[in-house]
């Protein structure tokens, strides 16, 4: 009986943001379905080194999506910064990971469609997630349409709010708008005590957290982090 339940697909996919091999291993042990790998999570996350990508890839069985973000701050990039992003995507494509996480905006607060198209094409056949730069756009519904047309697979968002719990009703409307064209991935402030409620309220099937509100990103307490991930997994079932 337990074997058949274990073999059933999980109702919810849990993605965990990590910035070290130790946290990556802990997240996998605790039941994470996918990783977002980056560094400097306290600054919102930046591109990890190829060394870290290789370390994590060689140690993990679950899919890994790698953040490509050249600096902290806004998401309007100079031509030099964009050239660096393209070089990073091209390099990551050779590292046997499943996806990249990107985002670029225009100065007017809309999605930089041309650059996003370029990055999506460069990343293929990897999946592409457009990150929470989405939440900085002036019109979320229009931004969703722009991103869907680029061929990206998903959008990481808190519904334009400070966190996913406050943005749950907007997340639901975005998920309805997206239909089966693109996946909406709620992220921002999720933990074991609210993740199931946000999943229910939004209708999301994939959820993302780095658990920064529970375990400080700088914390070396890997058992506490692993426990927090395990609690999220338990809240969602599986």
pLDDT at 4 (0 to 100): 35
pLDDT at 238 (0 to 100): 66
Count of alpha carbons within 13 angstroms of residue 137, beta-carbon side: 27
- CA Rg value for the chain: 17
Closest CA to 48 of 36, 63, 59, 38: 38
What is the pTM for the complete model shown? 0.95
- Dihedral pair phi/psi, residue 215, rounded to 5°: -125, 115
pLDDT at 90 (0 to 100): 98
Domains, the chain, in order of start with CATH, read 14-236 (3.20.20.380)
pLDDT at 237 (0 to 100): 87
Q: Check whether the bond before 187 is cis (ω within 30° of 0).
A: no
What are the start-end ranges of the E strands in the chain?
Answer: 13-18, 34-37, 64-67, 99-102, 127-130, 154-157, 183-186, 206-209
Residue ranges of the chain whose pLDDT lies below 70: 1-9, 238
What are the start-end ranges of the E strands in 85-159?
Answer: 99-102, 127-130, 154-157
**Is residue 65 left, alpha or beta, with left meaning phi > 0 and alpha meaning psi from -120 to 50?**
beta
């Amino acid at each position: 009986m337990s074997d058949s339940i274990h073999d059933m697909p999980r109702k919810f996919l849990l993605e965990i943001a990590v910035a070290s091999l130790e946290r990556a291993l802990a997240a996998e042990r605790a039941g994470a379905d996918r990783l977002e790998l980056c560094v400097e999570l306290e600054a919102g996350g930046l591109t990890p080194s190829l060394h870290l990508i290789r370390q994590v890839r060689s140690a993990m069985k679950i899919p890994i999506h790698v953040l490509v973000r050249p600096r902290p701050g806004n998401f309007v990039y100079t031509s030099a910064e964009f050239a660096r992003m393209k070089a990073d995507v091209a390099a990551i494509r050779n590292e046997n990971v499943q996806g990249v996480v990107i985002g670029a905006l225009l100065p007017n607060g809309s999605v930089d469609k041309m650059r996003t198209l370029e990055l999506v094409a460069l990343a293929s056949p990897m999946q592409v997630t457009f990150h929470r730069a989405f939440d900085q756009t002036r019109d979320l519904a229009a931004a969703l349409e722009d991103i869907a047309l680029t061929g990206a697979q998903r959008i990481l968002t808190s519904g334009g709010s400070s966190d996913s719990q406050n943005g749950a009703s907007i997340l639901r409307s975005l998920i309805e708008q997206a239909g089966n064209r693109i996946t909406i991935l709620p992220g921002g402030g999720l933990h074991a005590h609210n993740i199931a409620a946000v999943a229910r309220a939004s209708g999301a099937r994939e959820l993302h957290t780095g658990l920064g509100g529970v375990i400080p990103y700088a914390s070396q307490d890997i058992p506490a982090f692993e426990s927090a991930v395990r609690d999220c997994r338990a809240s969602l079932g599986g």
